[in-house]
Chains A and B, each alone.
Chain A
Amino acid sequence: MARTEAPNLPPDPTAAVEAAQAEVPPELVAQSLGEYARAWVARARSGQSGVLPVVLGMVAIIIVFQAISPNHVFLSAGNLVNLFQQSAVFMVLAMAETFALLLGEIDLSIGYVGACGAVIAVQLVQPVTTNWPWWAAIIAALAFCAAVGAVQGTIITRLGIPSFIVTLAGFLIFNGVMLILLLLGPFSGYPNLGAQSDNVKVLYNLMNGSIDPTVSWIAMAVIVIGVGALFWFGDNRRRKSGLVAPPVSLSLIKIGLIAAAGITVVAISNVNRANIGTLEGVPWVVPIVLAVLAMWTILLERTKYGRYVYAIGGNPEAARRAGINLALVRTAAFALCGFTAGIGMLLYASYIAGMSNNVQGGQYVLFAVAAAVIGGASLFGGRGKALHGVLGGLVIGGIYNGMYLQGLDVQRIFIVTGLVLLAAVTIDALSRRGGGAGAMGFSR
């Protein structure tokens, strides 16, 4: 045969392995975790380096902004809680965008679709007009967002129009719809959550309410123990039955990190952060974001539906031949994207205590895409997790917050955020090229 083996040999296998191993935290290599480390290396080489880059980015942001912020206020308890509240909107919107990104699609409309949902909720709870109970208003808002997503998804899948164009149209349409909805009722376009009614207060508290410090500690302990036990017993069971499982040390590290994150968040939030009086405890938004994270993590990683989303993002033709209903999965993903965006913009409305025509829907979409991609999701589909949205949201929130502390004008913040998005997408494209080489057979 004329063929030779040469093209199938790795260009320099040892170099590639070493390069990948350099990214493994040294304590893992030191304990020689064998099979798991090798799987991790394989993953990293195929472009799935996990959350490491975003964690490094976060550390860099903390160091830089702590050093340059006036009076080193960046790491003060008050600012960190504020940062987390600002980031929460980015986090949830990024989780929304992840559904579209996983399919290799994009949804540019989520900023204004979510904003429409938020306006609907804020309008419906107004005591002087409709006076709906808060939960009914939220259900109506999220149902609207999901329905819009489903309609856009149907147009994209059934008519085969690129999602970029359909959702760009949606971006414009729902900007207009939002302005119309704002003008309803006697609020001169500024319906707000300032009314002194317990019902309206619930929406206001989504972002601004705090949980009692003692309750915060207890709830955190319950969540950490619960999630930790889930990991521990799950990994243990797999180890015992001889399945691929992380080594004990890694399970412990994972659980330790979760506990550390929980303790840090509660400890910071329980510091009195008010200039006058007391303001302490974990903001409500923390459990809300965690709930969204848990919900979408289970959906994407533990259900058939989630598996199909990844499969379609990876190879639509393979998914089709496996008997998966592509149109249904795709349409549902856009509906979920809209639904989640509704949650994100509800948090936004709560943060600014109302809605107005100042909402930067376009900017928020870009922040959401940037956050998801910085967190580790791929613009090319098939790679990304809900957790990536949360981590990326924290990075974007950190940049945003840090630049505000510097007193930078909005135009400079735009430029920096745009550059960060560009950098994240470039890294994504380059790592994809690396993954492509693996797919061509450059490995043993």
Chain B
Amino acid sequence: MTAETVATEPLLKVRGLDKHFGPVQALYQVDLDLPAGQVTALCGDNGAGKSVLTKCISGVYQRDHGEIFWEGQPVHIRNTRDASRLGIETVYQDLALCDNLDIVQNMFLGRERLRRELLDEDSMERAAARTLAELRVTTVRSIRQPVASLSGGQRQSVAVAKAVMWNSKLVMLDEPTAALGVNQTKMVLDLVRRLRDHGLAVMVISHNLNDVFEVADRIAVLYLGRMVIQAPASVLDRQDVVEYMTTGRLSRAGGQVKRGAN
């Protein structure tokens, strides 16, 4: 492992997590580290358990066995509200934005600020503008334009800004670039890097290895519900990741060396 990951306790640590749905075992003894200030890419084929693992962390599902440590302390995340309280936010693939509401309204949906029982639009607009400026989401024409009029990349940016607005420490992005073109993908990956530079832990679920190698500091691969490798992105190459994703292990001789190094 590289020095920086050893030096500090990861923000979120998953140990021996099991999850089954009826007779189907979705996750077996999964370990995962999500350190602050780093982007961790979670890879895996369809059905490998990426979504289930994400949902166990974000409180949508309850784990059967295993432990989750947050800043070193064991925590029990019973629902999404528990997760938000800790500072865990998830941006799902469908983004969960209301097209008919504007950017400010979307960012504060469900957490509106009030003044004398009425909505405090001024204060919400200022806070939203500040967050967008910090993340350098500057391509939107007006913060008051309805989300329906935004491009795919802008919508993704708004969804991410909405997630980080609440002093969140860990942001999990589900396939953030799946529906985007080249320029828009670049915009979102830049945003992901900025989150990392702000000291957040970021987990990106992605199928797209181009994106993974462009942005990830660490790569974790799930195969049929098992975590088959977690390593710094620098010690893996594309071929290794594909092999882990499709077979769950590395057959080439060089791979063993790499694995040992980690």
A43 touches B182 (CB 8 A): no
Residue numbers in A under 8 Å from B109 (CB-CB): 307, 311, 318-319, 322, 324
Contacts A8-B152, A39-B144, A317-B96; A303 near B181 (Cβ below 8 A): no
CB-contact partner of A42 in B92, B97, B149, under 8 A:
B149
Q: Which of B4-12, B114-122, B190-198 is the interface stretch?
A: B114-122
Interchain CB contact under 8 A, A304 and B96: no
Binary CB contact string for chain B from 81 to 114 against chain A (1 if under 8 A, 0 otherwise)? 1000000000010111111110001100111101
When the two chains form the complex, which single residue of B100, B126, B141, B183 contacts A383, counting CB atoms closer than 8 Å?
B100
Q: How far is the CB of A154 from chain B (nearest CB, A)?
A: 23
Answer yes or no: A358 CB below 8 A from chain B CBs: no
Query: Is B145's CB under 8 angstroms from A43's CB?
Result: yes
A428 to B151, CA, bound (A): 23
Q: Is there contact, CB below 8 Å, between A318 and B98?
A: yes
Task: Identify which of B111, B125, B183, B208 contacts A244 (C-beta below 8 A).
Answer: B125
CB-based contact B210/A303 at 8 Å: no
Interface of B is mostly: loop
Please determine whether B112 and A244 come into contact, CB atoms closer than 8 angstroms. no
Q: Is the CB of A315 within 8 A of B112?
A: no
A46 at the binding interface (Cβ < 8 Å): yes
- In the complex, identify which listed stretch (A63-71, A219-227, A435-443) lies at the interface while the others stay far away: A435-443
The one of B110, B143, B151, B210 that contacts A323, using a Cβ cutoff of 8 Å: B110
Partner pick for A43 among B94, B139, B146, CB 8 A cutoff: B146
Are A241's CB and B100's CB within 8 A? no
Contacting residue for B149 out of A3, A7, A438, CB 8 A: A438
Report yes or no: A244 in contact with B96, Cβ–Cβ below 8 A.
no
**What's the Cα separation between A195 and B145 when bound, in Å?**
55
**CB <8 Å contact, A318 and B96:** yes
Q: Is A314 part of the contact surface with B, judged by Cβ < 8 Å?
A: yes
When distances are taken between beta carbons in the complex, the residues of chain A under 8 Å from B208 are 1
Complexed CA–CA distance, A48 and B100 (Å): 9
What secondary structure prevails in chain A residues at the interface with B?
Answer: helix
Q: Is the CB of A38 within 8 A of B141?
A: yes
Interface string of B181-224 (1 = CB under 8 A from A): 11110000000000000000000000010100000000000000
Contact with B along A221-248 (1 / 0, CB 8 A): 0000000000000000110010110000
Known pairs A243-B125, A315-B96, A318-B98; A304 contacts B112 (CB<8 A) = yes
- Residues in B whose Cβ lies below 8 Å from that of A354: none
Q: Is the CB of B80 within 8 A of A321?
A: yes
Mask: chain A, 1-32; 1 = CB below 8 Å from B; 0 = not: 10111111000000000000000000000000
A35 touches B (CB below 8 Å): yes
CA distance A237 to B115 in the complex (A): 15
Among B96, B98, B139, residue most surrounded by chain A Cβ atoms (within 10 Å): B98
User: Which of B99, B112, B122, B143 counts the most A-chain CB atoms under 10 A from its CB?
Assistant: B99
B72 to chain A, nearest CB (A): 28
Give bound CA distance, A383 to B99, whole Å. 10
Asked if B96 contacts A241 (CB within 8 A), the reply is: no
Q: Kindly state the separation between the CA atoms of A44 and B144 in the bound complex, as whole angstroms.
A: 13
How far does the Cβ of A234 sit from chain B's closest Cβ, in whole Å? 9
What is the bound-complex CA distance between A318 and B155, given in angstroms? 14
Q: Within 8 Å CB of A443, what residues of B?
A: 149-151
Measured between C-beta atoms, what is the minimum distance from A89 to chain B in Å?
29
Expressed in whole angstroms, the minimum distance between the Cβ of A441 and any Cβ of chain B is 4
Is residue A412 contacting chain B, with contact meaning CB distance below 8 A? no
C-alpha spacing A58/B193, complex, angstroms: 54
Question: Beyond A42-B146, A244-B144, is A8–B184 a contact (Cβ under 8 Å)?
Answer: yes
A313-B100, A315-B96, A382-B98 as given contacts; A42 in contact with B145, CB under 8 Å: yes
Say whether, besides A46-B148, A243-B126, A307-B119, A38 and B98 are in contact (CB < 8 Å): no
Question: In whole angstroms, what is the CA distance A85 to B144 when docked?
Answer: 37
Q: Check A382 against B122 for contact (C-beta < 8 Å).
A: no
The answer to the question of A348 belonging to the interface, with a C-beta cut-off of 8 Å to chain B, is: no
Q: Which residues of A contact B (CB under 8 A)?
A: 1, 3-8, 35, 38-39, 42-43, 45-48, 237-238, 241, 243-244, 298, 302-304, 307, 310-311, 313-315, 317-319, 321-324, 382-383, 435, 438-439, 441, 443-444
22 contacts across the A-B interface (CB closer than 8 A): A3-B181, A5-B181, A7-B181, A8-B152, A35-B142, A38-B141, A39-B141, A39-B142, A39-B144, A42-B142, A42-B145, A45-B149, A46-B99, A241-B122, A243-B122, A303-B118, A303-B119, A307-B105, A310-B100, A310-B105, A382-B100, A441-B152
Q: Which 10 A-B pairs have the closest CB atoms?
A: A322-B110, A314-B98, A314-B100, A382-B100, A318-B96, A46-B148, A42-B149, A441-B152, A39-B142, A8-B181
